[in-house]
Structure 1
């Protein structure tokens, strides 16, 4: 079989090579999958360059998602059949023609779903659900400011906003992308090619401003997003696309404006899906006893999927003496000529203790809140999909 191998750390175009190896055999409880498509994630390229959250041993076969057809089943494997189309979950090294995986790490693919969508159904859509749910708890009617709106995560966020009812303020680099974002359902678009991000946020959002944002660009764009938020605003950074070609580790930065961060008491924090999956448990299995409505939404996606290792409960920091998930303060300010806000603080009365401690949460039907079926067509975004 053929496979793509990275010999060492370096630029993907220089260190990736096509090799040939024997087709692997499945062991007990395993299946062998003839891979039909794999995505090329930005994180895959970051890993090869040595600038991701972990560094594998080299040589290595990249890839964290795949779709294919089962062509052989190991002994003691139940519930799956030869010829069945499946996706892999938590299986690495997928950039090859055949992948062997534990049976518990594969899921059947619905008949109407394309290979392109199935191959990237986990990492990016799940990131979008978690960011808008457990991380920021974006509610109907609220604004969410996001960068890289044309990316796979960005498009998923736009569709979630349309489904749930929150408004998306979408940042793109090129004027040619504006119409596509609006056609997808984006509420408003800011083009940094010819518009000032902070001024446009103030013009579009009005005197209430924007208090929640997600960023996967970093650099000056990420800094501008932070400054555009109202006092007590929250920015979650989940990527650094602006640094992909940067070779100096000291330049992998976001130049946060100190006065805005300190005197407007804003929060900037990171998010990494890999670490979310490996949080320390605060309960039994991570898929139950979750007395929190926002977190319950994204757990429906992960737990209903039958992942081998259920995602752990999300532990939120109490560093500042409160949980933004249970008692959230947002600013509804009046914008002055000097660009400042006079804020009127409201305290969200949602409380964790208002929900039964032993509540059990199960997979939601597709027409329920946040139970949004993923739309096909993601392959035309920043994540490429390649057929094998």
Structure 2
């Protein structure tokens, strides 16, 4: 078997790639109920980077192996263990430490996925696609033909928002922070793409023919939240799911009091904690089917073997990207 390698960190610090290192480990002896899985692909999400710097809302105990989600192929089952057969592609449990050549997981927690689908796209199933789907469905009753506006539209979640909205017959205004990000968002099927800044509301009105937009999706916070609010209809809702600016969301009394704009927050981890398992599986199954058939995908900037984890994290933390960074361990 290939040398087993995991990306481990024993401390946190302001430079995320400086605290994580590839570490070899011995092949584990499986107990009943366990499975050994070879990791095929695991993304580096913004939340993963924030765990390395200590700025995320939920931090694992140290030392820890990086990586929150991913997919793998079953190598071996423990004694007297029922589960997906060796050779089956599976979705890994969240938070298991997926930046690793191999992981040991509870066999009962492994979700079989189509073997013929691209594992790199399936690797991103657990976090960004359900976040996008729930942002579009759980806050405002949208109907085909309605408009949605989002910022950070070139992000992983933003890409899925564009695609899912299109599949549901919705139209999207997509706000990005730099001109160079526009073509990639357009290629995902966006209806309107604008660069954030002064006069956003007027530019949105011109681009949509004055459409009444009732849902704003905010990943940036700070003054960007206010600019989204200014482009919304009275009584609309903004849902914040991130703080890329590092600043608290800003809304003026005019937006809150006189225009009745509502600001809500969304955290996928809480949704997983409070949602019955059958409903979780149904959503993930629906999204896996869309990914397997090519109806949902996200651009991939680059892939790295786990031995190059420091390069991978540095690339993921860079602002100038046009796709996801994935850890794709090499296997003999």
Task: Give runs of aligned pairs for residues 181-220 of structure 1, distance below 5 A.
Answer: 181-192=185-196, 196-220=199-223
Give the equivalent residue in structure 2 for 1:342.
none
Say which of 259, 266, 283 aligns to 1:301: 283
Give 1:181 deviation, angstroms.
2.0
Give the equivalent residue in structure 2 for 1:237.
240
Say which of 112, 132, 135 aligns to 1:128: 132
Equivalent residues of 1:116, 1:378 under 8 A apart = no
1:146 and 2:141 are equivalent in the alignment: no
Whole-angstrom CA distance in 1 between matches of 2:153 and 2:288: 27
Give the equivalent residue in structure 2 for 1:253.
248
Over 3 Å counting, the alpha-carbon distance change for 1:206 and 1:146 in structure 2 is same
Equivalent residues of 1:90, 1:105 under 8 A apart = no
TM-score normalised according to structure 1 size: 0.72
1:267 and 2:208 are equivalent in the alignment: no
1:7 and 2:2 are equivalent in the alignment: no
Give 1:128 deviation, angstroms.
0.8
Q: CA RMSD in A?
A: 2.6
Whole-angstrom CA distance in 2 between matches of 1:70 and 1:299: 20
Say which of 278, 289, 301 aligns to 1:287: 278
Whole-angstrom CA distance in 2 between matches of 1:287 and 1:121: 17
TM-score normalised according to structure 2 size: 0.84
Equivalent residues of 1:127, 1:153 under 8 A apart = yes
Over 3 Å counting, the alpha-carbon distance change for 1:213 and 1:82 in structure 2 is same
Over 3 Å counting, the alpha-carbon distance change for 1:372 and 1:236 in structure 2 is farther
Give the equivalent residue in structure 1 for 2:318.
none
Whole-angstrom CA distance in 2 between matches of 1:3 and 1:148: 31
Whole-angstrom CA distance in 2 between matches of 1:65 and 1:155: 18
Q: Unpaired segments of 5 or more residues in structure 2?
A: 302-321
CA deviation string 1:212-267 (max 9, x = no partner): 11111122212211232121110000111222xxxxxxxx3122222211211111
Q: In structure 1, the residue corresponding to 2:138 is in which secondary structure? A: helix
Whole-angstrom CA distance in 2 between matches of 1:198 and 1:375: 30
Over 3 Å counting, the alpha-carbon distance change for 1:366 and 1:38 in structure 2 is closer
Give 1:299 deviation, angstroms.
6.7
Aligned length: 305
Whole-angstrom CA distance in 1 between matches of 2:32 and 2:241: 38
Larger Rg belongs to: 1
1:51 and 2:52 are equivalent in the alignment: no
CA deviation string 1:292-337 (max 9, x = no partner): xxxxxx87314xx4xxxxxxxxxxxxxxxxxxxxxxxxxxxxxxxx
Equivalent residues of 1:91, 1:101 under 8 A apart = no
Equivalent residues of 1:160, 1:372 under 8 A apart = no
Equivalent residues of 2:122, 2:288 under 8 A apart = no
Equivalent residues of 1:34, 1:98 under 8 A apart = yes
